[in-house]
Structure 1
């Protein structure tokens, strides 16, 4: 785990790895719950029988934005800033969903600290290149650059 006292301390660690974190299973129940919350209730996410019959996935697949939303907590498993009073997701750059995530698949995040700079309002802008690995797969489920704002 990359651990520092203050957000600005991360500047000394540009290029350092973050993670990998532990593997996490994505369940059919999580996919269904996210469908209800997000309104992304296409049958490929909510109808296991139809998804098994009409796709090559063998069942439902997770919404890409479910996988994306998991990156927030997965980053916390590999990055600790002890005196950060608050964090904000600022955005993602170059986001790609590169492989489907099936119910039952396991994911983990591996990242690289890419940039750290002062931000307006006394904060620190942190950019992390993230890869959400899919256990046993040649391609990751997601790649992109996460941009965070942290305040001490």
Structure 2
């Protein structure tokens, strides 16, 4: 298990390596999961900005088309959030970038799978890059007001 603020993340340590850093946890796929999964990052920020603005800022790390970002409702750890998918501006077939934003206890939690370049996992794997990590997130009851 890894912890970040009010977020608790249970994950399969045979498939993922978690590196906790200041304000974030980096999840790196291991062994046989590497070709099918992209790295995932969970960050915690102040919640002054909207989820749309935070997603746009996150997508600036790569070659993403952000003019028509449409949020989709999601639930992470029992909290309602927004999911944003953005296509790359790359010519080759690269996976979409994904950012999920959930606001809890005065903080914004961003779960993201982004590629800074024009490479990434197998597009035809059928695996959502955030599904496995997102499914393991819960928020501490005393911090999740």
Provide TM-score, normalisation by structure 2.
Answer: 0.30
Q: Which has the larger radius of gyration?
A: 1
Q: TM-score, normalised by structure 1?
A: 0.29
